[in-house]
Structure 1
Amino acid sequence: MFRASIRSAIETAVRQAQGEGAVPQVSVPNFSVAAPERAGQGDYASNIAMTLAKAAGAKPMDIATLLVERLRQHELVGAVEAAAPGFLNIAIKPEAVGQSLVAVLRDGIATGYEAFKDKKISVEFTDPNPFKEFHIGHLYTNTVGESLARIFEAAGATAKRANYQGDVGLHVAKAIWGMRRNLDESGASLQDLVAKPLIERARFLGSAYAAGAKAYEADESAKADINELNKKIYALDPEIRELYAQGRAWSLEYFEAIYRRLGMQFDFYYFERDVGPIGQKIVEEHIADGIFEKSDGAVIFPGDRYGLHRRVFINSAGLPTYEAKELGLAFKKYEDFRFDAAYVVTGSEITDYFKVLLTALGKIDADLAAKIRHVPHGMVRLPQGKMSSRTGDVIRAEDLLADMRGRVEQRIAEAAHESRGGKNLAECIAVGAVKYSFLRVGIGKDIIFDADTSLSVEGDSGPYLQYTYARLKSILRKVGGAASEHASAGVMDGVEHRLALAALRFDEAVADAAQGLAPNVIVNYCSQLAQLANEFYHSHPVVQEPDEGKRALRTTLVAVAAQSLARGLHLLGIEAPEEM
């Protein structure tokens, strides 16, 4: 809330010093304004004197001292000092903090960020393949993509969520082959499966794909059959049409059940069957101009000309590959939603693939390619022995969530008290624990997911944040009445001041997270806010505070902290329970 004003005050002070001849007339270099890492260094610290000194050929402490004199005149600055080797440590006036608390309690914190204001942003993520399992990797991608979309919205953009799914291709042919074999061996019919619960139908598809994938590698006859099925799937041959349509529908229904469980929904759905012809046409149109070239019956992009890999865009069977389909997808997404920027969230293992794709797209439409950015994330790994997959190789998302929910229910039972939220609260905590663990590190890093650690209520976990929020809401219920009725901007001590500033910095966290594509910034913000809120809780009574003025101030502080924590949890896709 205060950072932008402090930055502006510093820039004004520099211009004043330059106008008076105290500082050389050089362009003001980029500088930082941030909350200091240690207590006792003010509310904000800036390196402006060091960056300016380098450009001006002066001593950092000399410039810092000059700026201190001018910053003291600013209406928000309560105290400012120069600290070696040239930092400015700035404290906000206590009355400004108090007045801001009251204003935020009334109006909320505005989080618009100029770089995102009124921008249209497409975020593509999750991208599961029908006929295959929705595994832990899809869950991770979904968590990251949804959080980014919410952060962009909080920063002032209009964000649309897109999901691109592979409903044609060799994996589908393998699944159809497996469906046929499994039905023949069991003596069941497709109609028998229709009557079964959705989860059983999803399991059937998963086992069918596994059977087809195994046969494709081990049996030449099966491989030939599957390759032939692949052609029939593209052509929607009557021989496989019913199996294909039913399996596809079951998969999509299964995916939607997971999205509902995660508390999100998509704006656009795209399928390889639809964008493949678009991409193939684009590739064929750009053979003559040399962007693509024919090679051994296929059509390739000569990536080696640009220091990349050569990749096939139309195979020797005349079918579009993933690369060609992705080209078609780019144009289709832009046709449906004229975005200013588009982000595609996937695992980092296909980074090189995207480099080729975007280079090829850039040769066709440089403006469109410039709008698209690949956001690669790391892998989710599990500590040895902590959890095993029931299918052997792939950990399904619903198995992970079920395991986490079971752990939560067990802990509630062991605590010998009844959960007021029942099974819904256990689900809320389980999902929150998983999402927090996925988002707590930078997107590009691998994650070690530990179920026990993720469920801790002692700190650095989703349940810890949820518990803190529920504790704050409990205080407000005990105080009674609307929090705004108690609004006060009284004098604060050190603990209250630190909590107030943390609660008021929500907009700064949003700006940093949006600019850096970094949900972990929101995680860190919420974690620090929760730690300060719990320190306050243990040392500062609210309901039992006899002094009416202090009680009013602390109620205001609790209400604003709860508001900021709830909004932060929302950006992470984590539900904020009123009771816990």
Structure 2
Amino acid sequence: MLIKLIRRSIEKVVGKGVKFMVEHPANMDWGDYSTNAGIVTKQKDKVLTALKAEKSLKNIASEISLAGAGFINISIRKDFLINQVNQLLKGDWEKPLKGKKIMVEFAHPNTHKEMHIGHMRTLIVGEALSRIFEANGAKVFRANYQGDIGPHVAKSIWGTQKLLRRRKLSWEEAEKLSLAEKAHLLGEGYVLGNRDYNQNKAEIDALNNQIYQHQPEIEAVYQRTRGWSLEYYDQFYQRFGTKFDRLFFESEVAEKGKEIVLKNIGRVFARSRGAVVFKGEKYGLHTRVFITKDGNPTYEAKDIGLGPLQFQVFNFDRCIHVVANEQAGYFQVVIKALELLDKKFIGREHHLPMGMVNLIGKKISSRTGEIIKVDSLLAEVKVKLEQLCQDEAVLEQAAIGAVKYSILKTNCKQDVVFEVNKSVSLEGNSGPYLQYSFARCRSVLAKAAEQGAARVGGTYREEDELLRLLARFGEAVNQAAEELAPDAAAKYLYDLAQKFNVFYNQRRIAGNRFRLWLTQATAEILGQGLSLLGISAPEKM
């Protein structure tokens, strides 16, 4: 990898103890790489002279020069860049996570509710991260932890029973509804149960206890409705190209979590007003309840049962929980409690806080029923793409690509502002724009009579800049993994598509072996990059 070679060369000159940066200049006219090593050592001329003489760097650099306040710019020889691109096309880039085992826990839709776009974001980001980690050499385990027991389930079942009585329907008749209709029925039930909870608290709480205790009078209804939700969610997982290695459920870890908490009262947990709590203040955190006065485990206690089970199933080096940023305080407490219970969890558990998804003029709340359903959003996007995609399979790929890319181009920690029209634009930073650029490459190659091998021959600016950007693909893959940032890969792909389209519009490609090779390389790297984001690359659009 070029950047690694350059860093080693600079270290030989300034010494390993010196902290310096190596980055790409904002303007390609300044070179391929830039370092502040001369500034931090306050010996810019000496460092420049030494770098020009450094053997490894001398072999790959076409120019090394001083600029501005002392930055040293490095330009790489074209033949070396071509060799670098050929290596990348074979998947030969740095694999810093080789040998590491990473569990990515994402999606997390609670049963007995409909899937909304907040769940969709964690589903999209979690799958992209999983693929990016794999591209960096890691063995990845895709996990999904779902709330299938607790107050929300009791509220949903209570409300659904009320709705069925009002509509004079039996459970058997409800079973004949479509999967989407059954999911919507449970969502309506949850909204009703949540709205009427204060007036019916004793009844709904009693139902919650019955579900926890698996009492026969409610168990059949619970299992039936739970099955509806899981089947409904599975459709979305397939549609978004995700297959989980294991589904974990609150119902399977609740009792174990409660047992662990009770066994560690006095050591990690404490009794407080009839409940069991974790006093986080001594660690700069806050106090949270782990077992209620009624004796039921809270979400926190269930996570205490989940951690050991996940490690037993897949003894990970790192477990990344892709969950909304509003849960940051929650995870700080739970992770600290896990680390105090068992030292093996120290440094292994990580919460990746996700920003919200906002649609212009709309808000989301499953409690009140104001949600943007995933299937509704996809249908709306499809309508916008119908003129671009005549084939139904390609239309589906473009719609999924539009939604995924709109999510992934934004840093995970920031809120996404989703605009349907922008998500499908062929003139802007969108998934369909990248897919169309890939299809354009394929079209050019299909029409070309001669493709041939690469040779040094780029003399035009558009060729030169495209080549130089192609050579950076491996760095973008590494950066996305290191920073837990699929947006780094998305940005690279958008820049690459822009460079290619400028090249396409300015230069005749057919009949020129070097330009055909650039087009082939662009197609392959765009295809690989889109796959890392979980986005399909249609051959034609």
TM-score normalized by structure 2? 0.96
2:141 matched residue in structure 1: 160
The count of residues paired between Structure 1 and Structure 2 equals 539
- Work out the CA distance in 1 between the residues paired with 2:317 and 2:83: 37
Question: 2:496 aligned with 1:529, yes or no?
Answer: yes
1:553 is matched with 514
Distance 2:320 2:291 in 1: 25
**Equivalent of residue 334 in structure 2, options 357, 366, 387:** 357
Contact 1:386–1:450 (CA under 8 A) maintained in structure 2: no
CA distance in 2, matches of 1:534, 1:211: 53
Corresponding residue number in structure 1 for 2:63: 79
Partner of 1:23: none
Question: What letter is aligned with 2:519?
Answer: V
1:127 maps to amino acid = H
Match of residue 575 from structure 1: 536
**Which residue identity lines up with residue 408 of structure 1 in the other structure?**
L
| Aligned with residue 472 of structure 1, among 425, 428, 441 | 441
The reply to whether residue 266 of structure 1 matches residue 244 of structure 2 is yes
User: C-alpha distance in 2, partners of 1:570/1:366?
Assistant: 37
Which of 322, 340, 344 is residue 367 of structure 1 equivalent to?
344
Offset, 1:304: 1.9
Per the alignment, residue 91 of structure 1 pairs with 75
Match of 1:214 in 2: 195
Partner of 2:93: 111
Q: Which one of 502, 511, 514 corresponds to residue 478 of structure 2? A: 511
1:129 shift after superposition: 0.3
**Deviation of 1:392 (Å):** 5.1
| 2:47 corresponding residue in structure 1 | 63
| Pairs within 5 Å for 1:168-247 | 168-217=149-198, 219=199, 222-247=200-225
Where 2:464 maps in the other structure, the secondary structure is: helix
**Partner SS, residue 443 of structure 1:** coil
How far did residue 369 of structure 1 move? 3.5
CA distance in 1 between partners of 2:190 and 2:259 (Å):
30
Instruction: Tell whether the 8 Å contact from 1:102 to 1:488 is kept in structure 2 after alignment.
Output: no
Over 3 Å counting, the alpha-carbon distance change for 1:436 and 1:403 in structure 2 is same
Distance in 1, matches of 2:57 and 2:481, equals: 32
Calculate percent identity across the aligned residue pairs: 40
Superposed structure 1 runs of 4+ greater than 6 Å apart: 385-389
The alpha carbon displacement at 1:480 in A equals 5.2
What whole-Å deviation, never above 9, does each CA across 1:113-137 have from its counterpart, x for those lacking one?
32x1110000001101000111110
Q: Give the direction of change, closer, same or farther, for the CA distance of 1:103–1:173 in structure 2 (3 Å limit).
A: closer
Per the alignment, residue 542 of structure 1 pairs with 509
Task: State the distance in 2 between where 1:347 and 1:552 align.
Answer: 49
Q: 5+ unaligned residues in a row in structure 1: which ranges?
A: 15-25, 413-418, 546-550
Structure 1 residues 388 and 346, CA gap change in structure 2 (3 angstroms): closer
What residue number does 1:28 align with? 17
1:98 Cα deviation after fit: 2.8
Deviation at 1:559, TM superposition (A): 1.0
Q: Which moved more, 1:487-496 or 1:176-185?
A: 487-496
1:8-43 per-residue CA deviation (whole Å, 9 max, x = no partner) reads: 2222344xxxxxxxxxxx643232222211131111
**One-letter amino acid matched to 1:256:** D
Selected match of 1:132 from 79, 97, 113: 113
Cα contact 1:174–1:216 (8 A) shared by 2:
yes
Shift of 1:526: 0.2
Q: Which residue of 1 aligns with 2:281?
A: 304
- SS of the residue 1:134 aligns to: coil
Query: Which residue is 1:122 aligned to?
Result: 103
Superimposed CA distance per residue, residues 388-435 of structure 1 (whole angstroms, 9 cap, x where no aligned partner) = 99x8511111111111112212x44xxxxxx45x22222211111111
Which residue number in structure 1 is paired with residue 132 of structure 2?
Answer: 151
| C-alpha distance in structure 2 between counterparts of 1:85 and 1:103, whole Å | 35
User: Structure 1 residues 355-364 or 133-142, which shifts more?
Assistant: 355-364
Deviation at 1:208, TM superposition (A): 1.2
Residue equivalent to 1:48: 37
1:308 offset after TM fit, Å?
Answer: 1.7
The answer for the alignment partner of 1:434 in structure 2 is 403
Counterparts of 1:150 and 1:170 in 2: how far apart (Å)? 35
Q: Distance in 2 between matches of 1:315 and 1:104?
A: 55
Cα distance in structure 2, aligned partners of 1:309 and 1:103: 51
Aligned to 1:9: 9
Name the structure 1 match of 2:314.
337
Q: Distance in 2 between matches of 1:91 and 1:112?
A: 21
What letter corresponds to residue 39 of structure 1 in structure 2? Answer: M
The residue number in structure 2 matching 1:295 is: 272
Q: CA RMSD in A?
A: 2.0
After TM superposition, give the deviation of residue 104 of structure 1 in Å. 4.7
**Structure 1 residue aligned with 2:527:** 566
Residues 9, 74 of structure 1: 8 Å contact kept: no
Distance in 2 of aligned mates of 1:385 and 1:312 = 34
Task: Give the TM-score of the pair, scaled to structure 1.
Answer: 0.89
Q: How big is each residue's C-alpha offset from its partner over 1:343-367, in whole Å with a ceiling of 9 and x where there is no partner?
A: 0010011111111111111211132
Q: Is the 8 A contact 2:253 2:305 kept in 1?
A: yes
